[in-house]
Structure 1
Amino acid sequence: MGALMQKTAQHSPKRSTESQQLSLKQMIKNNMRSYSMVIALILIMLLFQVLTGGILLRPLNITNLILQNSYILVLAVGMMLVIITGHIDLSVGSVAAFVGALAGILMVQHHVSVWLTVLICLLLGALIGAWQGFWVAYVKIPSFIVTLAGMLLFRGLTMVILEGQSIAPFPKTFQNMSSGFLPDVFHGGEIHLFTIVIGFAASLLFVVLEWRKRNSQKKYGFAVTPASMFTLKLAVIAAVIMIFTYILATYEGIPTILVILAALIIAYSFVANRTVVGRHIYAIGGNEKAAQLSGIKTKRVTFWVFVNMGVLAALSGLIFAARLNAATPKAGNLFELDAIAACFIGGASAYGGIGTISGAIIGGLVMGVMNNGMSLLGLGIDWQQAIKGLVLLIAVAFDIYNKNKAA
């Protein structure tokens, strides 16, 4: 008996290691879509870096990528929650245009202060989201129909209040929201030292949080990835953060809009992954009837998801108006399609219940890099639209393939 126990003890470390290896394989299998999109993003960037002769990853172009895609990424964050619940929102582009038009009227024509205007516009976005959420959640009209009606309604209202004309220019303070940069408090000259410091702090914080998370998982008996793989992962991600911030530091530093995006990503990732509300959102998308029977107030959650989408659509409209320095009737055109495509490319399921905020950002970056790279190569908008449509179809087909394989 003692010999048997000794033999078992001798083999237990090996079994533990095998368990860790299986956990890693299972993690890769469960997150195949996310990993494949990260790999695809890297390959696309390397491809266009070669084809454009090194232009893609120049500091100026990297900064332009952030500024050009910021409003789509904001929409993608909200759209991901809508899609996870099993719905869709086709009105976000028109809502963004309508809010941008109202901002122009208030700031340019009536000289309302910038911060008061921003507050009014965000509240308007919440009201619009509540309007659409009421019809979807409580009246049970399909979200496709409600938001299609909203797309037509708010596009028409935009043209009415602008009377077919653009309004410009916006105050400099408002423009800085989309095109400004954090000041260099260390006055580093050619290198933006404050950006380097922020990059180092972000890398260190990421490493500390990941180690604490891993130690907590081990404490409660959860399987974790092998230490070597975990250390390699931390080293790679920390290096990417430092390289990225160094590239920004060689130009103007960190754009203000990047700070806003980072705050949104962190906040919404926390809500989706660490809160009861987030679990309810995923439960509704997985099986709404089962969620309702388990005590989740499905109507209320769906309603607030659309309210949130309205607020982020309003924020996107403000960011776009600030970058364009004008409120135009054509603003927000096809924003909804880019945001939806970013979510599906980033791992959202067409059936609901699956998706992550980070996935939406990765999907948005894939779309943004493709747009930027094809523009640098001189491809026309016609080919760009065709290629983006093909990429979206492949992404959804991949999702359905994985779902059928799992079944």
Structure 2
Amino acid sequence: MSENIENLSLQKEMSDRKGYKEIMLTSISQNLRQYTMIIALFSIWVIFSLLTNGIFLSSRNLSNLFLQMVTIGFLACGMVLVIVATHIDLSVGSVAGTLGAVAAALMSRHGMNPWLAILITLCCGILVGSWHGYWISYKGIPAFIVTLASMTAFKGLTLAITKGATIGEFPVAFKSIGQGYVPTLFFENAAYNDTSIILGIIFVGAFILIDLKKRNNRTKYGLEVLPMPLQVIRMVALSVTIMVPCVIMSSYRGIPYAILLLIAVVVVLTFVSQHTRFGRYIYAIGGNKEAAKLSGVNIKRINFYIFVLMGLLTAVASIVFTGRLNAATTSAGTLFELDAIAACYIGGTSSTGGVGTIFGAIIGALVMASIDNGMSLMNIPIMYQYMIKGAVLIFAVWVDFSTKKKVA
């Protein structure tokens, strides 16, 4: 009798271990793409740091790197939702160039208040997004065709607004959006920016609290959660990912305002995509359009609002980019669409729709910006930079397709 009890106990223990192992493997496989990209990002940083004798990871260069990434980060945040819904937007680069020219012309040629110019630019972005959404959603024209037409048209419009010349020198309030840094709080003459460190601690604390709350909610409703050791490892890894850039940037001039604006957008869009009906509908459309339609989802309206949001984020990106350069040029926005699309694919967004995260897109944008920045520091000719970026994009799509084949 006692032997039977021991055998049952042993079987239960082995079953629990097997279940524990299965949960771990499932959790790792589901998040492997994002974890891999975080590891790849740090690997890229280490490699370029070695190749540039430490210049790449200097506080000044890292701050510049994040500022370079911000523009593509805004575009990638919107592009994720576009791709998840099985669309594509090829016009974001040209539209960003045009909207930047609009803001520049309003301030430099007409002496408009910078905040009013920003508001008008944002409204123009919404109008452009509405234009795209109308033709795509209600007229049934493929997004590829509509945005390809806009890509060409807005290049011409940029030339018309700028008249072929650079428009420059903007008010301080406008420039600070793209060039400004958070001021120090307590130690003005210190060798570091204390505000940046405090913000880093706040970001890490908020992330841990949200992650633990999410775990508790899943446990409460009987859903699978990561084993606690793996959860702790995950939280530590992501906390380091958040804190290290903040500490490094604090030793230069601090965290740029543009980064804080991007963080705010990421937080809002992550909430929208994961915890609102609109976000769930986007993933439902991308996962199975017919099933979503039969479930009562108004696909036309959702697609319309996706492109309106894309237009708004393109306007934000154009404002930050123009403010950082303190100029609007005829070539502004060139190849932004490539970087934004590549950032999404690198960050785990599926090219066939239905899968993708805002956080993953930001990691992808950092990878693209790091490759750009590192190659520039090494003085690699621009022709080879374009070739390498194209190779990175096709590799990311290949990984997506190969992963799907393995799952199938």
- Give the Cα separation in 1 of the matches to 2:234 and 2:27: 14
Deviations 1:231-285 (A, max 9, x none): 2222233233333221111111111001001001111111111111111001111
**Residues 1:70 and 1:47: Cα distance change in structure 2 (over 3 Å):** same
Which residue in the other structure is 2:28 paired with?
28
| Aligned pairs (5 A) from 1:290-369 | 290-369=291-370
Write the letter of the residue equivalent to 1:360: A
Which residue in the other structure is 2:377 paired with?
376
- Give the Cα separation in 1 of the matches to 2:240 and 2:364: 22
Deviations 1:63-120 (A, max 9, x none): 0001112111110110111011000011111111111111111111111111111111
**Residues 1:222 and 1:3: Cα distance change in structure 2 (over 3 Å):** farther
| TM-score normalised over the length of structure 1 | 0.96
4+ residue runs over 3 A deviation: 1-18
Question: Residue 268 of structure 2 aligns to a residue in which SS?
Answer: helix
Higher mean C-alpha displacement, 137-146 vs 9-18? 9-18
Write the letter of the residue equivalent to 2:22: L
- Give the Cα separation in 2 of the matches to 1:158 and 1:384: 26
- Give the Cα separation in 1 of the matches to 2:217 and 2:293: 32
Write the letter of the residue equivalent to 1:282: Y
Which residue in the other structure is 1:285 paired with?
286
Question: Residue 111 of structure 1 aligns to a residue in which SS?
Answer: coil
Per the TM alignment, residue 10 of structure 1 is displaced from its structure 2 partner at its CA by 6.6
**Residues 1:28 and 1:363: Cα distance change in structure 2 (over 3 Å):** same
Higher mean C-alpha displacement, 5-14 vs 247-256? 5-14
- Give the Cα separation in 1 of the matches to 2:340 and 2:240: 29
**Residues 1:276 and 1:14: Cα distance change in structure 2 (over 3 Å):** farther
Per the TM alignment, residue 49 of structure 1 is displaced from its structure 2 partner at its CA by 1.3
Question: Residue 328 of structure 2 aligns to a residue in which SS?
Answer: coil
Structure 1: 5+ residue stretches without partners: none
- Give the Cα separation in 1 of the matches to 2:165 and 2:46: 41
Which residue in the other structure is 1:142 paired with?
142
The answer (yes or no) to whether the contact 1:96–1:314 under 8 Å persists in 2 is yes
Question: Residue 54 of structure 1 aligns to a residue in which SS?
Answer: coil
| Aligned pairs (5 A) from 1:2-401 | 8=8, 12=12, 15-188=15-188, 189-401=190-402
Higher mean C-alpha displacement, 298-307 vs 67-76? 67-76
Higher mean C-alpha displacement, 51-60 vs 35-44? 35-44
- Give the Cα separation in 2 of the matches to 1:391 and 1:239: 26
The answer (yes or no) to whether the contact 1:17–1:226 under 8 Å persists in 2 is no
The answer (yes or no) to whether the contact 1:20–1:224 under 8 Å persists in 2 is no
- Give the Cα separation in 2 of the matches to 1:230 and 1:156: 51
| TM-score normalised over the length of structure 2 | 0.95
Write the letter of the residue equivalent to 1:37: M
- Give the Cα separation in 1 of the matches to 2:3 and 2:202: 52
The answer (yes or no) to whether the contact 1:21–1:225 under 8 Å persists in 2 is no
**Residues 1:7 and 1:55: Cα distance change in structure 2 (over 3 Å):** same
CA RMSD in angstroms, aligned pairs only: 1.8
Write the letter of the residue equivalent to 1:339: A
The answer (yes or no) to whether the contact 1:24–1:224 under 8 Å persists in 2 is no
Write the letter of the residue equivalent to 2:390: G
- Give the Cα separation in 1 of the matches to 2:223 and 2:323: 47
Write the letter of the residue equivalent to 2:44: I
- Give the Cα separation in 1 of the matches to 2:5 and 2:340: 58
Per the TM alignment, residue 217 of structure 1 is displaced from its structure 2 partner at its CA by 1.9
Deviations 1:351-384 (A, max 9, x none): 1111111111111111111111111111011011
- Give the Cα separation in 2 of the matches to 1:229 and 1:28: 9
Write the letter of the residue equivalent to 1:177: I
- Give the Cα separation in 2 of the matches to 1:5 and 1:267: 54
Per the TM alignment, residue 289 of structure 1 is displaced from its structure 2 partner at its CA by 1.8
**Residues 1:294 and 1:211: Cα distance change in structure 2 (over 3 Å):** same
Question: Residue 31 of structure 1 aligns to a residue in which SS?
Answer: helix
- Give the Cα separation in 2 of the matches to 1:40 and 1:242: 18
Per the TM alignment, residue 35 of structure 1 is displaced from its structure 2 partner at its CA by 2.3
Write the letter of the residue equivalent to 1:166: T
Per the TM alignment, residue 311 of structure 1 is displaced from its structure 2 partner at its CA by 0.6
- Give the Cα separation in 1 of the matches to 2:332 and 2:92: 11
| Percentage of identical aligned residues | 44
